[in-house]
Structures are given as structure tokens and as C-alpha cells.
């Protein structure tokens, strides 16, 4: 059984049912039923037209349910067509519509991510639950609520690309847990979106993902501890992904429609281009952070900009830039500790590393900051 094929066909099959008039929740249930049938029957002899087979079976499943529900009889009469009829219109348009539906602004970010992984990514509820380290029943409820929310939504205006990109970026940042590599899944989905729509920010996000993902194997030591960017073994970086990311980014920047994902990708490209940490062009990185501040006004961007300023112009300049950022921001203490350490104030840096460790959002980061604090405390004795 080709699981990858089934996952790749899921969104286009679901979109066909929705376009034919099925509400999203009923269509999604019918597609899942069709996938179960495919898993049961295809090993004995896969069909010549896998997508057409899935559309036919899913549509029949939908109609069977509709006929069994008298309250939906009118809907059945309105949308009933020959189940074997080929789906009209380009598949790309169907899939793109599904992206926008799953990233509908009425959904919470967590619900939009879960629905995207289920409907567009073709993942099972169990796989998504394992990836998010929550019980399957909890994830099933979240997905069911999301499906009910978007059922009946009509698209009479263009979808919001920015919302879709935010959802995909959230998926990417979840990284890896359980048996689903969400970072790789986000790259796959963003590639699919980039093939469907010519938009520089879609390309920018894809480039950003590739450039970050290229460093993945060097980010942790054999014992699972975090390895900071400056200390990573750059020979372990994926040079093919870096080259592809830079090529995609250059094409996007040539459109002269700069957006935040292109700017972030440009920063990642400058890091990837440097043969060693000491050869990083921090001056250019600061300039790109200035662009990001102009585009977003984000305090997170200002926080990261302070680090870049500290590298380009010295730790005191970095601390001055950090003073303009709200001290309650996550990672503020960690950035301050790093800059104080570079400035030679080890006592303050150790205290701030310990404070940052208490605020860390995951175990690996907390352990890394705790070790930094312990190392500096030992030097201060």
C-alpha cells in the first residue's frame, strides 16, 4: 500500500466533494471512509486511476449517509450527480481552496493547524495526536469542532494567503515528535502550495523552511542537548537544501514584493552562506532585521535584532537595542544573559541564564540554559 500516494490524493479528493456541494465535515468523513476501503482493497489490485476511484467511493459514501438522514434529503437532491462523473476544473484550484478553508480566520491557530494536517496533509487523527503529544480523543474533539466551524463556509472572495502561510509556519515550528515529522510535512505542504500559486511570500516561506531544516542534524549533540548556531558543525548542514532555498529566495526577491518570510529567509541565507560563525555578515543581518521591524513591528523581531546588533557592533550596542524591548518578552532574559556574557559581566550573565532556564518552554532549552549558568558560576568562583 502506497501511503504517500493516499496522503497526496486526500486534499484533492476532499476538495472535489466540497465543490460538489457536500459540507466539509460530511465530505471529510466520506473521504476517510474511502481511504479505509483503499487500504482494504488496493493491496489485491490497485486501480488504474487512484484519484478517480477515491472520488467515486467517497461520493457514494457521502450519498449513502445523506440518504440515511432525511433532514439532509434536500441537500442530496441539490448536489446529487453521477458518482462516476469526472471532477470538473483543475485539481490545483480545488487543493488551493482547501488550504484557505482550513486556515479560515474563525478557527484558532491550533485548530487550523490540526485541520490542515488532517484535510490537506492526509494524516490520521492518531498521527496528529502523537505529534502534539495529546490523547487521540482530545485531538479528535479539536478536529471535529474545527470541521463544524468551517462547514457551510462559502468562498465568494479570494482567500487570505497570509493566514495560510501562518498556519504552515506553525506546523513547521512544531518540528518533530511522535511518529510524524511535522517540519518535513510543512515543507511538503508548502511545496504543494508554491506549485499552486505564484506568490513571492509562499516562495519566501518555502525558502525559509528549507534553510532552517538544512541545519537540523547539527542542532543537537548525541546526548540530545542543544548546540547553538555558532557552535554547530557546519559540515553536517544539508548543502542541497541550502542551495535550493537560496535559489528559491533569489527568485522571490526578484519580484520586488518584499514580505516578512522573504526577509527571514534572507537572514537564514546569510547564516548558511558563512563558512564559519566568525565569517557571518552580521552587518547585513542587522539591515534585514531593520526591514523585518518595518514590515512587522514585532517585538520578537526586535529581540532577535538586539542579538544581531550585539554581534555587529559589540555587546553594549546590543544591550542598548535590547533596552527598547519589553523585558517580559519570552527569551528576553536569555538574550540579555548572552550579551552580558560577551561583555564580560559573568555574574550578571549567570544570574540571567538561571532566570531564563526557569522560563524555558521545553526541557532541552532549559537544560542548555542551566548548563550555561553553571559554567559561568564555576568560572566566577
Q: Same domain for 76 and 99?
A: no
Residue pair 344/314 in contact by the 8 Å Cβ criterion: no
* Closest residue by Cα to residue 279 from 247, 304, 311: 311
pLDDT of residue 45: 83
| pLDDT tens track, the chain, 381 positions | 577 788 888 888 998 888 888 888 888 889 989 988 998 889 888 889 999 999 999 999 988 887 776 544 454 444 444 434 444 444 555 677 788 888 888 888 888 888 888 888 877 888 888 877 789 999 999 999 998 888 877 655 556 788 889 889 988 887 665 556 888 888 988 998 898 889 999 999 999 999 999 999 999 999 888 999 999 999 999 999 999 999 999 999 999 999 999 999 999 999 999 999 999 999 999 999 999 999 999 999 999 999 999 999 999 999 999 999 999 998 999 999 999 999 999 999 999 999 999 998 788 899 999 999 999 999 887
The three cell numbers locating residue 374: 553553571
278 found inside a domain: no
Q: Is 159 left (phi over 0), alpha (psi -120 to 50) or beta?
A: beta
Q: Which residues of 136-152 are buried (b: 16+ CB within 10 A; e: fewer)?
A: eeebbebbeebbebbbe
159 found inside a domain: yes
pLDDT of residue 207: 98
Integer Cα distance of 184 and 190 in angstroms: 10
Q: Same domain for 1 and 71?
A: yes
**Domain closes at, from 180, 207, 222:** 180
Integer Cα distance of 227 and 224 in angstroms: 9
Q: Same domain for 33 and 72?
A: yes
Q: Same domain for 56 and 43?
A: yes
Integer Cα distance of 60 and 115 in angstroms: 23
The three cell numbers locating residue 173: 515550528
**Domain closes at, from 134, 161, 180:** 180
Q: Same domain for 107 and 170?
A: yes
Summarised one tens digit per residue, pLDDT across range 124-151 is 888 888 877 789 999 999 999 998 888 8
Task: Please give the torsion angle defined by the CA atoms of residues 376, 378, 380 and 381, in that order, rounded to the nearest 10 degrees.
Answer: 170
Q: Same domain for 7 and 33?
A: yes
196 found inside a domain: no
Task: Please give the torsion angle defined by the CA atoms of residues 85, 90, 91 and 96, in that order, rounded to the nearest 10 degrees.
Answer: -130
Q: Same domain for 111 and 130?
A: yes
Q: Same domain for 111 and 37?
A: no
Provide the residue range defining the domain that includes 5.
1-88
The three cell numbers locating residue 327: 523585558
Q: Same domain for 123 and 74?
A: no
Domains of the chain: total: 3
112 found inside a domain: yes
The three cell numbers locating residue 117: 494536517
**DSSP, residue by residue, 27-77:** HHHHHHHHHHHHHHHGGG---SSHHHHHHHHHHHHHHHHHHH-GGGHHHHH
Residue pair 103/148 in contact by the 8 Å Cβ criterion: no
Integer Cα distance of 180 and 13 in angstroms: 22
Q: Same domain for 3 and 70?
A: yes
268 found inside a domain: no
Which residues, listed in sequence order, are joined to residue 181 by a DSSP beta bridge?
A: 176
**CATH number, domain with residue 118:** 1.10.10
Radius of gyration of the chain (CA): 24
pTM equals 0.80
Q: Same domain for 40 and 83?
A: yes
47 found inside a domain: yes
Amino acid at each position: 500500500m502506497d501511503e504517500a500516494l493516499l496522503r497526496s490524493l486526500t486534499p484533492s479528493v476532499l476538495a472535489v466533494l466540497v465543490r460538489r456541494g457536500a459540507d466539509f465535515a460530511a465530505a471529510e468523513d466520506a473521504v476517510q471512509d474511502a481511504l479505509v476501503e483503499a487500504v482494504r482493497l488496493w493491496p489485491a489490485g490497485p486501480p488504474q486511476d487512484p484519484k478517480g476511484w477515491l472520488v467515486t467511493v467517497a461520493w457514494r459514501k457521502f450519498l449513502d449517509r445523506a440518504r440515511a438522514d432525511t433532514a439532509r434529503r434536500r441537500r442530496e437532491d441539490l448536489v446529487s450527480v453521477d458518482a462516476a462523473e469526472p471532477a470538473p476544473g483543475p485539481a490545483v484550484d480545488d487543493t488551493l481552496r482547501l488550504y484557505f478553508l482550513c486556515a479560515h480566520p474563525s478557527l484558532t491557530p491550533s485548530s487550523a493547524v490540526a485541520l490542515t494536517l488532517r484535510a490537506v496533509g492526509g494524516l490520521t487523527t492518531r498521527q496528529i495526536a502523537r505529534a502534539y503529544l495529546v490523547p487521540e480523543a482530545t485531538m479528535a474533539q479539536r478536529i471535529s469542532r474545527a470541521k463544524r466551524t468551517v462547514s457551510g463556509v462559502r468562498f465568494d472572495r479570494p482567500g487570505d494567503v497570509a493566514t495560510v502561510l501562518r498556519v504552515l509556519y506553525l506546523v513547521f515550528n512544531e518540528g518533530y515528535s511522535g511518529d510524524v515529522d511535522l517540519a518535513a510535512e510543512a515543507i511538503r505542504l508548502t511545496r504543494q502550495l508554491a506549485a499552486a500559486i505564484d506568490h513571492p511570500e509562499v516562495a519566501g516561506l518555502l525558502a525559509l523552511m528549507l534553510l532552517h531544516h538544512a541545519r537540523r542534524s547539527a542542532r543537537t549533540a548525541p546526548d540530545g542537548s542543544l548546540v547553538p548556531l555558532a557552535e554547530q558543525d557546519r559540515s553536517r548542514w544539508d548543502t542541497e537544501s541550502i542551495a535550493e532555498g537560496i535559489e528559491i529566495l533569489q527568485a522571490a526577491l526578484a519580484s520586488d514584493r518584499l514580505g516578512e518570510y522573504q526577509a527571514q529567509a534572507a537572514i537564514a541565507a546569510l547564516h548558511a552562506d558563512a563558512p564559519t560563525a566568525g565569517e557571518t555578515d552580521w552587518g547585513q543581518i542587522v539591515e534585514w532585521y531593520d526591514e523585518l521591524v518595518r514590515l512587522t513591528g514585532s517585538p520578537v523581531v526586535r529581540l532577535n535584532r538586539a542579538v544581531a546588533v550585539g554581534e555587529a557592533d559589540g555587546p553594549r550596542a546590543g544591550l542598548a537595542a535590547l533596552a527598547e524591548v519589553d523585558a517580559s518578552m519570552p527569551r528576553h532574559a536569555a538574550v540579555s544573559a548572552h550579551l552580558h556574557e560577551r561583555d564580560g559581566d559573568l555574574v550578571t550573565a549567570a544570574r540571567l541564564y538561571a532566570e531564563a532556564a526557569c522560563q524555558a518552554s521545553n526541557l532541552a532549552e532549559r537544560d542548555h540554559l542551566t548548563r550555561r549558568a553553571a559554567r559561568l558560576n564555576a568560572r566566577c568562583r
